[in-house]
């Protein structure tokens, strides 16, 4: 079946829904999401959204904090434009219905009444939040707006397989130069039918890819689908080696992990070893509020030194009423594990959390491929550099998606070629897939062991060889069997794992989230540039 829209949005996080709401002013919009609307990284975001709102703060200070946290690899002009747009667009979220935590719980919804918290790498309290469920509050407001919008249609349980480009169409009447996107082939995961979603403009807002690591904080949908599709269609990827590990993911023996917000440390939580010793002051002047890459490496080094699997985040010195009012979600989750964090320290360890790199794009979300926009974690527009400053992710997604939806090119007329139906295969070899499906778990193990917080060139080369064999095995199965969601996801994970390792091998220095034991120092003379593949 062929669906025809002016705008196609792939993904249902903050970037996708903001783009959908804004572009719906110009035409009909289809939102395609591979699970439910709430199954996205935005909904998992606890901490908040950073912006220089307080009178004691300034854009200049937020810009400098972002640039320094990114190990001086971010683009200053991009950083400046995104940060200066922050306050106005947070006000826009409030007007859409986002219920941020306020200083005075009256109906005063002005920016001056927002409660602000502190997080690692920031020099001022500038993180607006909604308790410890900021992302969920934003999602509730945006989903309500999209569902009420007559120009927006929502398709759940649909996974985009491939972008529709010159690779798919017959060019019998002459070559079509360059690469253009005319929508996507989309699999209905309930019926296993593949449909054509034809669109003049496509927004890729598919989030990150931390599922390629065995230990991560992301929902199961974060398998790098958008990055992989763009890569396979001919777009460039940038800075894929910079995978940020969140320092404080809850640790449990069964691997059931969830995020312990950086704001817990912002309010006074202290990292301690098993003997109760605080250690972060030995690694950075900001101690427990050092940038994430520094804290993750410090924890990793201390745990390996002691042969232990986790350390503790001690919030028992923080006022109990503040803990319970600011972190109700974390409190409830911890209580389900028998931990009262007002009197007990929390076992934590680093876990893969966020991709600072992604599909190379402008601040307006434009990519190498005509008619294709990207925004959010799938994109690399130059804000984060080598390491993301805490709570800049929702800010980036909001600003870039808003700008993309209001870009003049959205009003262009697009000529469509004849788009062929997806070549359906009837058979699916279950016996063969049972064997190959283990590759998803193997990818996670390889990446965690060989391309994690601390890397070596020898192990990265070994990982690349293993991953390329895995990709060939999966892709061969993909080419000869009926398409299924699990096959597409595993293919995409292999594509992105290879991109991360290749990028890591290209950077023979340590910078931000990329730490190479062969070259532990930063090399500004030779490597103060982006890694492009």
Q: The domain that contains 521 carries what CATH number?
A: 1.20.58.100
More confident position, 112 or 256 = 112
Mean pLDDT value across the chain: 94
**Are 522 and 446 contained in the same domain?**
yes
pLDDT band at 262 (very low <50, low <70, confident <90, very high): confident
- CATH at residue 262: 3.90.700.10
Residues 495 and 380: their CA atoms lie apart, in Å, by 17
Closest CA to 118 of 50, 169, 63: 50
pLDDT, position 337: 93
pLDDT, position 30: 98
For the segment 169-184, the average pLDDT, to the nearest whole number, is 85
Q: Indicate whether 108 pLDDT > 80.
A: no
pLDDT in tens, 449-458: 999 999 999 9
pLDDT, position 52: 95
**Are 372 and 466 contained in the same domain?**
no
pLDDT band at 28 (very low <50, low <70, confident <90, very high): very high
- CATH at residue 147: 3.50.50.60
**Are 218 and 101 contained in the same domain?**
yes
**Are 97 and 226 contained in the same domain?**
yes
**Are 222 and 112 contained in the same domain?**
yes
Active-site annotation holder among 158, 292, 403, 491: 292
For the segment 237-248, the average pLDDT, to the nearest whole number, is 96
pLDDT in tens, 486-513: 999 999 999 999 999 999 999 999 999 9
| Residues paired with 10 in a beta bridge | 32, 204
pLDDT, position 163: 98
Q: Give the residue from 353, 370, 392 where a domain finishes.
A: 353
| Residues paired with 3 in a beta bridge | 197
Q: Indicate whether 242 pLDDT > 90.
A: yes
Q: Is 236 a catalytic residue?
A: no
Q: Is 420 inside a domain boundary?
A: no
**Are 398 and 325 contained in the same domain?**
no
For the segment 260-282, the average pLDDT, to the nearest whole number, is 93
Q: Is 403 inside a domain boundary?
A: yes
pLDDT in tens, 461-490: 999 999 999 999 999 999 999 999 999 999
pLDDT, position 256: 80
Q: Indicate whether 40 pLDDT > 90.
A: no
Q: Indicate whether 61 pLDDT > 80.
A: yes
**Are 435 and 388 contained in the same domain?**
no
pLDDT, position 110: 84
For the segment 215-241, the average pLDDT, to the nearest whole number, is 96
Q: Indicate whether 265 pLDDT > 80.
A: yes
**Are 275 and 182 contained in the same domain?**
no
Q: Is 422 inside a domain boundary?
A: no
Q: Indicate whether 152 pLDDT > 90.
A: yes
pLDDT, position 175: 77
Q: Is 272 inside a domain boundary?
A: yes
Q: Is 22 inside a domain boundary?
A: yes
Mean pLDDT is lowest, of 145-154, 168-177, 258-267, 314-323, for 168-177
Q: Is 425 inside a domain boundary?
A: no
For the segment 378-406, the average pLDDT, to the nearest whole number, is 97
pLDDT, position 439: 95
Q: Which helix (H) or strand (E) element contains residue 32? A: strand 29-32
Residues 222 and 208: their CA atoms lie apart, in Å, by 5
Residues 22 and 287: their CA atoms lie apart, in Å, by 42
Q: Is 424 exposed, middle or buried (CB count within 10 Å of its CB: 0-12, 13-18, 19+)? A: exposed
pLDDT, position 363: 98
pLDDT band at 42 (very low <50, low <70, confident <90, very high): confident
Q: Angle 60-65-66 (CA atoms, 0-180°, nearest 5)?
A: 100
Q: Is 333 inside a domain boundary?
A: yes
Q: Is 446 exposed, middle or buried (CB count within 10 Å of its CB: 0-12, 13-18, 19+)? A: buried
For the segment 184-200, the average pLDDT, to the nearest whole number, is 96
pLDDT, position 426: 78
Q: Total structural domains in the chain?
A: 3
pLDDT, position 39: 78
**Are 343 and 371 contained in the same domain?**
no
pLDDT in tens, 308-356: 999 999 999 999 998 998 899 899 999 999 999 999 999 999 999 999 9
pLDDT band at 380 (very low <50, low <70, confident <90, very high): very high
Q: Would the CA dihedral through 62, 64, 66, 68 be positive or negative?
A: negative
Which residue segment(s) compose the domain that 9 sits in? 2-241+356-411
Closest CA to 504 of 450, 466, 465, 467: 450
**Are 172 and 271 contained in the same domain?**
no
**Are 9 and 138 contained in the same domain?**
yes
3 state DSSP class of 159: strand
Q: Is 362 inside a domain boundary?
A: yes
pLDDT band at 293 (very low <50, low <70, confident <90, very high): confident
**Are 136 and 199 contained in the same domain?**
yes
pLDDT band at 178 (very low <50, low <70, confident <90, very high): confident
For the segment 198-206, the average pLDDT, to the nearest whole number, is 98
pLDDT, position 229: 98
């Amino acid at each position: 079946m062929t669906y025809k829209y002016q705008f196609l949005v792939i993904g249902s996080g903050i970037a996708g829904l903001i783009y959908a709401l804004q572009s719906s002013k110009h035409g009909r919009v289809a939102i395609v999401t591979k699970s439910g609307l709430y199954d996205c990284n935005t909904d998992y975001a606890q901490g908040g959204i950073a912006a220089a709102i307080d009178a004691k703060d300034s854009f200049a200070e937020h810009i400098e904090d972002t640039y320094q946290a990114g190990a001086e690899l971010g683009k200053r002009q991009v950083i400046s434009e995104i940060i200066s747009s922050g306050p106005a667009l947070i006000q826009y979220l409030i007007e859409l219905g986002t219920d941020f935590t306020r200083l005075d719980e009256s109906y005063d919804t002005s920016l001056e009444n927002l409660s602000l918290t502190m997080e690692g790498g920031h020099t001022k309290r500038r993180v607006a939040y909604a308790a410890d469920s900021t992302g969920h509050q934003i999602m509730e407001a945006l989903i309500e707006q999209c569902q009420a919008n007559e120009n927006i249609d929502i398709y759940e349980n649909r996974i985009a397989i491939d972008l529709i480009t010159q690779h798919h169409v017959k060019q019998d009447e002459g070559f079509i130069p360059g690469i253009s996107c005319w929508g996507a082939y989309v699999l209905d995961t309930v019926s296993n039918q593949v449909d054509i979603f034809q669109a003049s403009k496509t927004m890729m807002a598919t989030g990150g890819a931390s599922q390629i690591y065995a230990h991560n904080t992301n929902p199961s949908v974060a398998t790098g689908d958008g990055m992989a599709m763009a890569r396979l269609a001919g777009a460039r990827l940038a800075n894929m080696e910079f995978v940020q590990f969140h320092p404080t993911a809850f640790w449990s023996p069964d691997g059931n992990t969830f995020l312990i917000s950086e704001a817990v440390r912002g309010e006074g939580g202290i990292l301690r070893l098993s003997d109760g010793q605080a250690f972060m002051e030995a690694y950075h002047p900001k101690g427990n509020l050092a940038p994430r890459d520094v804290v993750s490496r410090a924890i990793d080094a201390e745990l390996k030194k002691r042969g232990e699997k986790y350390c503790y985040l001690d919030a028992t010195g923080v006022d109990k009423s503040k803990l319970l009012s600011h972190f109700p979600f974390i409190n409830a989750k911890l209580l389900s594990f028998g931990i009262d964090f007002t009197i007990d320290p929390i076992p934590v360890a680093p876990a893969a959390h966020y991709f600072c790199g992604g599909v190379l794009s402008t601040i307006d979300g434009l990519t190498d491929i005509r008619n294709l926009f990207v925004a959010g974690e799938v994109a690399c527009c130059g804000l984060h550099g080598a390491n993301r400053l805490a709570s800049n992710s929702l800010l980036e997604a909001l600003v870039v998606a808003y700008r993309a939806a209001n870009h003049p090119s959205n009003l262009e007329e697009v000529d469509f070629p004849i788009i062929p139906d997806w070549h359906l295969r009837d058979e699916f070899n279950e016996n063969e897939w049972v064997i190959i499906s283990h590759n998803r778990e193997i990818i996670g193990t390889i990446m965690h062991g060989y391309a994690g917080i601390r890397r070596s060139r020898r192990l990265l080369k070994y990982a690349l060889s293993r991953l390329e064999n895995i990709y060939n095995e999966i892709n061969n199965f993909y080419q000869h069997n009926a398409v299924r969601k699990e096959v597409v996801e595993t293919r995409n994970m292999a594509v992105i794992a290879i991109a991360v390792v290749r990028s890591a091998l290209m950077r023979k220095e340590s910078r931000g989230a990329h730490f190479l034991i062969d070259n532990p120092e930063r090399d500004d003379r030779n490597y103060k540039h982006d890694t492009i593949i």
